[in-house]
Structure 1
Amino acid sequence: MIAVRQLHKSFGNTQVLRGVDLTVHRGEITFIIGPSGGGKSTLLRCINFLDRPTSGEITFGEERLCSEDGNVFRVAPDAVLRRARSRMPMVFQHFNLLKHRTVLQNVIEGPVHVLRRRKAEVIPEAQEFLRRVGLLERQDFYPDQLSGGQKQRVAIARALAMQPALILFDEPTSALDPELVSGVLETIRALATEGRTMIIVTHEMSFARRLAHRVHFCAEGQILESGPPEAIFETPQNPRLASFIQSIAH
């Protein structure tokens, strides 16, 4: 589904990603863990070109989004990037809902204005997604009338409405009060049972341990170790990962 090779990203003189390699297969639930500032969120944003990589290669399905040709870094045309981005929506830490639109209007925004689908056919689908995240009865509410957990579940319904091949989650629970986290995690867990392909950046270690097919440890702008959750959490090989696991165990 996604193949990332030697991905670099710099902001001015600050190098945030330093040659990241990452492969995600169709139907795989991939978690990215690691310390704050290690490059996890930047990696997600580069994968769907919310941030443009500095160099490296990204392939999404059959589409080459960027590549290295000798010393020349080539990026796919904007139309290709827009199409790819529409097929791998991101669920953000701070929801990013449109405040002056209702819940239902937020969910249909992408299918109508990005995918150019007819509103009449999109609305029943959007309502079904809202039902699945437990918020159909809130379809006429505005974001300010919702709790943080409800806003995040609307954001998940909005991503589903794009008929995604891949969903990117950027720390979806970190902005929530502790009592609201479980509802969002349960929604993501339900998506996992459908065989959806997901990349999830999270600090919820127990959740990653239970749900992941594969876990990648990202620190200092690199993926330092990858493996199934039992290997990552029980028998880490990289000293930096071992230290990280020890620090979160206390």
Structure 2
Amino acid sequence: MLEVRGLHKSFGPLHVLKGVDLVVRPGEVSFLIGPSGGGKSTLIRCVNFLETPSAGEITFDGRSLCREEGNIFHIAPERTLRAARSEMPMVFQHFNLFSHRTVLENVIEGPVMVKRQRRDEAIAIAEKLLAEVGLADKHDRYPDELSGGQKQRVAIARALAMQPKLILFDEPTSALDPELVSGILDTIRGLAERGMTLIVVSHEMGFARRLADQVHFISGGTIVESGPPERIFDAPDNPRLASFIRSILH
């Protein structure tokens, strides 16, 4: 589904990603873990071109989004990037809902404006998705009338409305009060059980251990170690990962 090779990203003199390699297979749930500032969020923002990579290769669902030939860095045409972005929406840490639009309007925005779906079809799908995430009675509310957990479930419904091939989650629970976290984790677990392809940036180590097919530890702008959760958490090879796991679990 997704292949990243030698990905670099710099912000001026700050070199954030330093040659990242990542493969995500269809139906796989991949967790990105690691210390703050290690490059986790930058990586997934580059994957769907919310940030433009500085170098490297990204292939999504068989389509090249960027590549290098010799010393020339090629980026796909904007229409290709828009199409890819619509098939791998992101659920943000701080929800990123349109505050002046209702819950229903937030969910149908992408299908109607980006995918040119008929409004009545988009509404029918949105109402079904809102029911699935437990918000059937909130479709005419505005975001500031919702709790943080409800906002995040709207954001997940909005992503699902795009009929995605891959969903990117950028620390989806870190802005929530502790009592709201479990509901969002249950929603993500339900997506995994349906066979959806997910990449999750998270500090929820217990959740990663239970749900992930693959865990990737990012530190210093590179993926230091990857593997199934039982090996990453119980028998890490890299000393930096071992230290991180000890500190988090402690």
Gaps of 5+ in 2: none
Q: Structure 2 length as normaliser, TM-score?
A: 1.00
> Does residue 158 of the first structure (1) align with residue 158 of the second (2)?
yes
Q: Match for 1:219: what amino acid?
A: S
Superposed, 1:21-170 pairs within 5 Å as 21-170=21-170
Cα distance in 1 for partners of 2:187, 2:224 equals 29
Q: 1:129 & 1:169 partners in 2: Cα distance?
A: 18
Distance 2:49 2:88 in 1: 10
1:213 aligned partner: 213
Asked if residue 200 in structure 1 is aligned to residue 191 in structure 2, the reply is no
1:233 is matched with which residue?
233
1:152 Cα offset (Å): 0.2
- The 2-side partners of 1:40 and 1:136 are apart by 33
- 1:175 Cα deviation after fit: 0.4
Once the two structures are aligned, what percentage of the paired residues are identical? 68
Q: In structure 2, what residue type is equivalent to 1:188?
A: I
CA distance in 2, matches of 1:141, 1:184: 19
Q: For residues 121 and 7 of structure 1, what CA distance do their matches in structure 2 show?
A: 39
Q: Which amino acid aligns with 1:135?
A: L
Q: Distance between the aligned counterparts of 1:169 and 1:217, measured in 2?
A: 16
Letter in 2 for 1:216: H
1:3 corresponds in structure 2 to 3
Opposite residue 66 of structure 2, the aligned amino acid is: C
Q: Name the aligned partner's letter for residue 158 of structure 1.
A: R
1:22 offset after TM fit, Å? 0.0
Task: Give the AA of the match of 1:77.
Answer: P
In 2, the alpha carbon distance for the partners of 1:146 and 1:249 equals: 32
Aligned-residue offset at 1:249? 1.5
Q: Distance in 1 between matches of 2:129 and 2:69?
A: 42
Listed as ranges, the gaps of 5+ residues in structure 1 are none
Whichever residue aligns with residue 41 of structure 2, its letter is S
Aligned to 2:185: 185
How far apart, in 1, do the equivalents of 2:142 and 2:205 lie?
A: 32
Q: Which amino acid aligns with 1:205?
A: M
SS at match of 1:138: coil
Shift of 1:62: 1.4
Give the aligned residue type for 2:212: A
Q: Secondary structure at the match of 1:26?
A: coil
Three-state SS of the structure 1 residue aligned to 2:22 is strand
Q: Which amino acid aligns with 2:99?
A: K
Letter in 2 for 1:5: R
Cα deviation for residue 58 of structure 1 reads: 0.1
Q: CA RMSD in A?
A: 0.4
Q: What secondary structure does 1:86 align onto?
A: helix
Q: Deviation at 1:92?
A: 0.2
Aligned length: 250
Give, in whole Å, the separation in 1 of the partners of 2:136 and 2:219. 40
Aligned AA (1:148): G
Structure 1 segments of 4+ aligned residues over 6 angstroms from their partners: none
The 2-side partners of 1:108 and 1:100 are apart by 14
Q: Residue 118 of structure 2 aligns to which amino acid in structure 1?
A: R
